[in-house]
Amino acid sequence: MAEQKSIHGLWRSRWLFILAATGSAVGLGNIWKFPYITGENGGGAFVLVYLACICVIGIPVMIAEVTLGRLGRQSPINTMHALVKDQNAAKFWGGIGWMGAVSGFLILSFYSVIAGWSLAYIFRMAGGAFDGATAQSVGTIFGDLLGNPEALLGWHTIFMVLTIGIVARGVNKGLERSISILMPLLFLILVVLLGYSMSTEGFGAAFNFLFSFDFSKITAESIVVALGHAFFTLSLGMGAIMAYGAYMPKSASVGKTVLTVAFLDTLIALVAGLVIFPIVFSNGLEAGAGPGLLFQTLPLAFSQMPAGTVFGTLFFLLVAFAALSSAISLGEPVVAWAVESKGMSRVAAATWIGIVIWLLGVGTILSFNLWADFKIFGRTIFDNLDFLTANILLPLGGLLIAIFVGWVMHKQDVADEVKMESPFMYNVWRFLVKFVAPVAVAIVLINGLI
């Protein structure tokens, strides 16, 4: 395909792409979701399956997705259209872009609500709500927040406004600069917390819980969740990484860049687990506590440590920023499409799309309180959105991307764009994308659905 130009701008360097993609990857998935689903799925065995999914499926699919984006240099929907034409492929493959757009809407609608919890906690922490906290009082504070739909709506609204505000300003202004400050800060705070967790008596138990691989604990359900989470945490299968790839300079090596992003993302998830579980075990909390895990363990830890109020406030601030840098990447693909194809200004596109997503978020808010008993397939609205996106749509998107790059596109076009220095590594990647990823994802998806 002839060299394309992005009308939205480019990242100023390979490192800025790494930071932006890491900003997209590192978010609530790492700090909030990974620890609690690990708790729900029994610990070590789950972690092992998750790591395998990242290496064997996640990384190869990420390379494929970035490659598509950089070839097309447009929003995922238009990139896929252009590639379908250029490669003489069946129209069907254009559906990858559209399906991603739907996934993005659904994910952002609940993501923003949870990110709103972290906003609320910044103020609870700073206001001293957790001074002298006990396991019980943190539970009550969390329960009160979830039971209050107006409060949740308020925080969700603020978070959506922030997200839209940034997407509306475009790729270069603000986003690049804020991410390059916030990501290292987040990591620093996590390391400080890790130091604290290591000093608690529960650290050994937590380490064993996370890294002793008891294979008898692996179930079909936990494999579906681990695979789904590999896609979710790396922001794969819905076009976020494709959109970011569209702004990646030509000179950067896709393979090395993706490896760096995946490494950082995994590291941060594991560190988050090593921060949270020692606190769980030291305080006799429940590892399988579900979505509230982060919001109940950490306030307890902060209430016990010196200068805990300061660290606690800072921590939830950074969680909110990590969520924001991911939320932006959820909004960007569709906004970029509306700018390209509907002739809208960025501001108008971001506003309209944001309003629709904001409205969808109300379903998630109510599923924690007024509609908590309203269940479809035995799940609340929030649980259904989470399950549908992470466990079905993202893996399905990833599967189609792998097949498109591995089987449908001309071999030479792919090779020219991926351009790995080592032919051996290139062949490994090609094998994983062509055979391993599609087969593994298909098996897991079919099993999961049955």
Q: Are the C-beta atoms of residues 145 and 151 closer than 8 Å to each other?
A: yes
Q: Which of 204, 199, 187 is nearest to 305 (CA)?
A: 199
* Nearest-approach distance from CB 396 to ligand PFF, in angstroms: 14
| Closer residue to ligand PFF in complex, CB, 58/94 | 58
The single residue among 67, 78, 233, 380 that binds ligand PFF, judged by CB under 6 A, is 233
* Nearest-approach distance from CB 101 to ligand PFF, in angstroms: 11
The single residue among 6, 30, 197, 364 that binds ligand PFF, judged by CB under 6 A, is 30
Q: Which stretch binds ligand PFF (CB under 6 A): 195-203, 216-224, 323-331, 358-366?
A: 323-331
Q: Which stretch binds ligand PFF (CB under 6 A): 19-27, 245-253, 283-291, 295-303?
A: 19-27
* Nearest-approach distance from CB 69 to ligand PFF, in angstroms: 12
| Closer residue to ligand PFF in complex, CB, 203/232 | 232
Q: Which of 406, 445, 407 is nearest to 426 (CA)?
A: 406
* Nearest-approach distance from CB 116 to ligand PFF, in angstroms: 14
Under rule CB under 6 A, residue 238 binds ligand PFF: yes
| Closer residue to ligand PFF in complex, CB, 266/326 | 326
Task: Give me 229's structure tokens.
Answer: 């989470």
The single residue among 28, 63, 120, 271 that binds ligand PFF, judged by CB under 6 A, is 28
Q: Which stretch binds ligand PFF (CB under 6 A): 22-30, 42-50, 126-134, 252-260?
A: 22-30
Sign of CA dihedral 356, 360, 362, 364: negative
CA distance 197 to 138: 18
CA distance 232 to 385: 13
| Closer residue to ligand PFF in complex, CB, 104/308 | 104
Under rule CB under 6 A, residue 24 binds ligand PFF: yes
What is the separation of C-alpha 394 from the centre of its chain, rounded to a whole number of angstroms?
11
Considering only residues 98 through 137, tell me which ones interact with ligand PFF, judged by CB under 6 A. Answer: 107
| Closer residue to ligand PFF in complex, CB, 24/391 | 24
CA distance 57 to 295: 31
Under rule CB under 6 A, residue 326 binds ligand PFF: yes
Q: Which stretch binds ligand PFF (CB under 6 A): 40-48, 187-195, 287-295, 324-332?
A: 324-332
For ligand PFF (CB under 6 A), the number of binding residues is 15
Under rule CB under 6 A, residue 329 binds ligand PFF: yes
Task: Give me 115's structure tokens.
Answer: 């990110």
| Closer residue to ligand PFF in complex, CB, 333/363 | 333
Cα Rg, the chain, nearest whole Å: 21
Under rule CB under 6 A, residue 27 binds ligand PFF: yes
The single residue among 130, 142, 159, 232 that binds ligand PFF, judged by CB under 6 A, is 232
Considering only residues 330 through 349, tell me which ones interact with ligand PFF, judged by CB under 6 A. Answer: 330
Q: Which of 281, 158, 143, 145 is nearest to 210 (CA)?
A: 281
| Closer residue to ligand PFF in complex, CB, 141/271 | 271
CA distance 49 to 213: 10
CB under 8 A, 24+ apart: contacts of 144-152: 145/117, 145/120, 146/292, 146/368, 146/369, 147/368, 147/369, 148/369, 149/365, 149/366, 149/368, 149/369, 149/370, 151/120, 152/113, 152/116, 152/117, 152/365, 152/368, 152/369
Site string for ligand PFF, 186-215 (x = CB under 6 A): ------------------------------
* Nearest-approach distance from CB 132 to ligand PFF, in angstroms: 32
Measured from each CB, the residue nearest to ligand PFF is 29
* Nearest-approach distance from CB 137 to ligand PFF, in angstroms: 28
| Closer residue to ligand PFF in complex, CB, 25/339 | 25
CA distance 366 to 152: 9
* Nearest-approach distance from CB 21 to ligand PFF, in angstroms: 10
- Give the residues lining the site for ligand PFF (CB under 6 A): 24-25, 27-30, 107, 232-233, 235, 238, 240, 326, 329-330
